[in-house]
Amino acid sequence: MQYPSQYIEKAVEEIAKLPGIGRKTALRLALHLLRREESETESLAGALLDLRLKTRYCSNCHNLSDTEICAICANPAGMLLPFA
């Protein structure tokens, strides 16, 4: 399918790589983003980048974490303090 914009085409191509998303849904999502405020798309793009670049696995227990050592492993007592 030919789109009137190379940027729409590229966005559809990338969104359609996500599991369960076909090109028709990808186009619908891309057109939705075009109708919303620019700040919403910037926020979505930022969240996706942060997810991919900043989320890691705890080097001790291999659970998902924002830090090298997760909060559970970082607490030597093995308990999270309720008001820490």
With binding defined as CB under 5 A, does residue 59 bind Zn ion? no
Contact assessment for residue 19 and residue 4, using Cβ atoms and an 8 Å cutoff: no
With binding defined as CB under 5 A, does residue 70 bind Zn ion? yes
Give the helix/strand (H/E) hosting 65.
strand 64-65
With binding defined as CB under 5 A, does residue 80 bind Zn ion? no
CA distances to 61, 64, 71, 78, 79 from 75, rounded to whole Å, are 13, 16, 6, 5, 6
With binding defined as CB under 5 A, does residue 58 bind Zn ion? yes
The region of 24-32, 38-46, 49-57, 70-78 touching Zn ion under the rule CB under 5 A is: 70-78
With binding defined as CB under 5 A, does residue 18 bind Zn ion? no
> Which amino acid, residue 63?
N
Q: Footprint of Zn ion on this chain (CB under 5 A)?
A: 58, 60-61, 70, 73
